[in-house]
Structure 1
Amino acid sequence: MVSLPAANYLVETRSTDAVEPRERTDFWTEHVGSYQSRMGYRYGRTDDFRGETVRQRTAAYQLVRFRSDEIEYSRTARQVREDPDGDYRLLLPLSGEIILRQDGHEALLTPGTGTLVSFASPFQCLQDASAQAFVLTIPAREVDGPLNRKSPLATALDLSRGLGRVVRSMLDGLYAEREDLTDSQFNAVSDRVVELVCMLATGDDRPDGARHLTDVETVVRRHVRENAADPGLTGTSMARALGWSLRQIQLTLQHAGTTPRDLIREERLRLVRERLRRGDCEHLTITDLAYASGFSSASALSTAFRQRFGVSPREMRKGVRGT
């Protein structure tokens, strides 16, 4: 079953029920391999393996909700070399247990926990027969760029409370509304999920003082997101609007690996990217988008956009129209 709510947004459901029992392991290996990088598969049973995936994707993100019988996925050093993939997967169990081993760490994942898995290094992932989970594919630049760091970011994330619970509810919402979303809506929610995951990856298990920094950071990020299009937005104007000192904001963002200037530029670039993907913004020129998103000129936008996303705004718009 395939439906296309929008040109760039795909929803696809696949199940082993579509083939004979003796063909199901081959079907699953080929199916998962069609949208994930090269891995090894070891099945708990080969006579009548059962599994199902519901896949939502755009050119930017992919969310898969899956269930299956017992299986072990693995990625070897050779597979990493021969099939490079630097992107992350946010793995979030909904039922059952999943054991992940990577970079000398082992995490037992159950509902209420999650982890960021890097396909850039070998791993083993073992799931029991009752496991169901979400897997969100996140481009490496969305994690490494904003946080200015490389994997591994975290062994386990607490998704049972606070920001973690918000992440879980947002993924639930993306899945529940899968048939009624547009590409820009799916991407916008995924952007916010990634933002929260990055905060979680650097904010878990810290003392009260550090948690206070996280609270301040949350407010600062929200203010920047809501006012990114304002060309007058600066660290100083932000501090004045929030009633804090500029130094306090600088220290908070320094703790998160960024600066007021970089955060503002990042949010403006996200805003431009979202508008480039929206059909109702096709009439806007790149210059219009630059000024409407807080940039001083089209050239300033194009330079920053290419540095961040590897393509120019015109190239991204052309790619979206061509899908």
Structure 2
Amino acid sequence: MPLAPRLLAHLDDIRLWQMPPARMKALPPPCTLHDPHTQWLLVPRDGRINVPEEGLESDTTPLLLGPTGSQVVALEGAAIALEVPSYRLAVSPLTGGQHRLLEHEQGHLVQALLEELTLRIERISPESQRYIAQAISDLLYCPAPALGETGECSLLAEADTLMRRRLAEHTLRAEDIAQAMGMSRAGLYRVLTPCGGFKTCLHALRLDRVAQLLRNPQQDRKAIKGLLFHNGFSSTEQFQRLFRQRFGVAARAFRKGALSPLLGDWRFEALPGNLS
């Protein structure tokens, strides 16, 4: 019987898994701009992580896998996996997830935190779990894609960056972003159409930003109304409708810890050549 990941714990909206030594195909759930998604962080404990198709390999540094398609992953030895919602990481729904090794300092701090965590996971209060989940999220920042690439990907990344910088502008229009990019409105729409268009992209970015703040314990004293207005929404009714559509729960329930039923689970299929 093939080995399978074993759920260790929930930390607020981050899940921890024990990963067996094996060759597996990681299958992320389908995701679109209209749905939140998750990313995986693989942390080697005693062995090596290898993603042949991406040319990534490490025995010390955690590896971030994005929901851009299936990947073959070889785990030589024990590993811990963190399943993290995209809004936690401020990963753009426009540019999708990235496959990359964490920087040295990021990796060192994540591993130290996990070592402490796995030793006393059953004794941590729900309130402390929220702060630990936030600490992990803060360590897993995802840099924006390089804008030096050619083609539509570069334009998409540039549009994403510009919209993020101007989320708070209630009257932000496609024309404003197009002008900042030195292109026509029609040209911008051509770039954004595969992602659902300008409004869909802008709403997704704003909703993920508010969700990130709602999960942050340091933002608990701030009213939801203030958070939504500071991130570009001008109508409470519109915000509540869009938030429920994207996350499956009301913003107030989300802040209290309700988990989105729309977040799909990754699946892992064991491949021939098991390493155990």
Identify the TM-score tier after normalising by the shorter chain.
0.5 to 0.7
SS in 1 for 2:7: helix
Deviates more, 1:173-182 or 1:240-249: 173-182
CA RMSD of aligned residues (A): 4.8
1:127 maps to which of 75, 86, 107: 75
Q: What's the CA shift for 1:133?
A: 6.6
Is the partner of 2:12 in helix, strand or coil?
coil
Give the superposition deviation at 1:175: 3.0
What is the identity percentage for the equivalent residue pairs of Structure 1 and Structure 2?
Answer: 18
- In structure 1, the partner of 2:101 is 168
Structure 2 match to 1:308? 246
Work out the CA distance in 1 between the residues paired with 2:107 and 2:184. Answer: 41
**2:226 maps to what in 1?**
288
Bigger RCO (CA 8 Å, 6+ sep): 2
Taking the aligned partners of 2:82 and 2:204, their CA distance within structure 1 comes to 21
Which residues of 2 match residues 1-323 of structure 1 at below 5 A? 33-35=6-8, 58-62=11-15, 71-72=21-22, 89=40, 96=48, 98=50, 107=53, 110-111=56-57, 126-128=74-76, 135-139=81-85, 146=93, 167-169=100-102, 172-178=104-110, 183-184=133-134, 186-187=136-137, 190=140, 193=142, 211-255=150-194, 257-319=195-257
SS in 2 for 1:34: strand
Structure with the higher fraction of residues in helix conformation: 1
Max radius of gyration: which structure? 1
Distance, in Å, in 1 between the alignment partners of 2:188 and 2:158 is 10
Distance (Å, rounded) in 2 between the aligned partners of 1:318 and 1:114: 28
Aligned to 1:41: none
Distance verdict in 2 for CA 1:183–1:139, change over 3 Å:
closer
Kept in 2: contact 1:228–1:293 (CA 8 A): yes
The 8 Å contact of residues 61 and 138 in structure 1, kept in 2 or not, is answered as: yes
1:312 CA displacement: 0.9
Contact 1:295–1:301 (8 Å) recurs in 2: yes
CA contact (8 A) 1:253 1:260 kept: yes
Give the distance between the partners of 2:218 and 2:67, measured in 1 at CA: 36
Contact 1:74–1:125 at 8 Å: present in 2 too? Answer: yes
